[in-house]
Amino acid sequence: MKKWFKRAAFAAVCALHLGSAAAADVVIDAGHGGKDHGALGTLGKHQYMEKDFALDMSLQLRKHLRQQGFSVAMTRTDDTFRPLGQRLAYGRKHCRKLFASVHVNAAKNNPRANGVHTYVLQGNDATAVGKKSLQIARNVQKAFNPKRPEVRRARFVTLQNTTCPSVQLEMYFMSNKADLKKLADKRQRRAIAGKLAKVIGTSLKQRDAKAKAKPAPSAVKPQTSKPAAKPSRPRVPAKAAAKDKPAPLKKAAPKTAAKPKAKR
Ligand SMILES: [Zn+2]
């Protein structure tokens, strides 16, 4: 099959599966779903699945971002399985400002591993899209984990969007009891999503204000009634990414429950 035909067929399938929504400021990608439950965690007799937390936090994130005036689309809004390639294709087609994958981390062999970790595409720091991705990830990382502000690099399938800034947000650990307690508590979980929405919304608005303050050389501005953009917070110089451990990811195949890290 010719490449272009394959691509067209794939896009058609994606449109069918995910709906042909218009472009959105933010595309939220709730990790896992359906037969792919992601990482598991246990508290007493209760077993929890990553896919449920990811969806609930994503729906909350959508609600809050909409309240802030952003248009939001999602790769899934219920307990449905979506292959990674479809998610990526959807993001490439519909994302305007940010593609955010929401997951919960797991480290089977290290129950002490905890907290929030953010990821951007490995080897993409120098591009405009890469810089924007990094800025958002850094803001989230700093807000949730000021003592460990480094953003990690990886080649997850859903990060491989060269047109729209993309981040993967690993919101705490299924494998850490204290983290899991936090996630299992609806109020705390929703507070996490609210905080996340605040950081993302503020970051996007700062970025927009910055872009407005710096008109493109060819742009003819008829009249601007808006005041000049407020200076954004001073940028922290990017730390060398050397520390960041890339996690290999080859195929879009859903991970099985047996894997220690149910990430993509
Ligand atoms: Zn995951």
CATH code (residue 184): 3.40.630.40
Residues β-bridged to residue 182: none
Indicate whether 12 belongs to any domain: no
Indicate whether 190 belongs to any domain: yes
Count of domains observed in the chain: 1
Domain range for 189 is 22-213
pLDDT tens for the chain, 264 residues long, are 455 545 555 444 444 445 445 899 999 999 999 999 999 999 999 999 999 999 999 999 999 999 999 999 999 999 999 999 999 999 999 999 999 999 999 998 999 999 999 999 999 999 999 999 999 999 999 999 999 889 999 999 999 999 999 999 999 999 999 999 999 999 999 999 999 999 999 999 999 888 888 766 654 555 544 444 444 444 444 443 334 443 443 344 444 444 444 445
Indicate whether 258 belongs to any domain: no
Ligand 1 centroid–CA 255 distance in Å is 9
Among candidate residues 117, 132, 120, the one with its CA nearest the CA of residue 206: 132
Residue 145 burial (CB count, 10 A): 15
User: In this structure, are residues 76 and 19 in contact, taking their beta carbons and an 8 Å threshold?
Assistant: no
User: In this structure, are residues 71 and 143 in contact, taking their beta carbons and an 8 Å threshold?
Assistant: no
Indicate whether 102 belongs to any domain: yes
Ligand 1 centroid–CA 261 distance in Å is 8
Tokens of 69: 């005036």
Confirm whether the ipTM is greater than 0.95: yes
Ligand 1 centroid–CA 262 distance in Å is 5
Indicate whether 241 belongs to any domain: no
Indicate whether 231 belongs to any domain: no
Ligand 1 centroid–CA 202 distance in Å is 25
Ligand 1 centroid–CA 39 distance in Å is 7
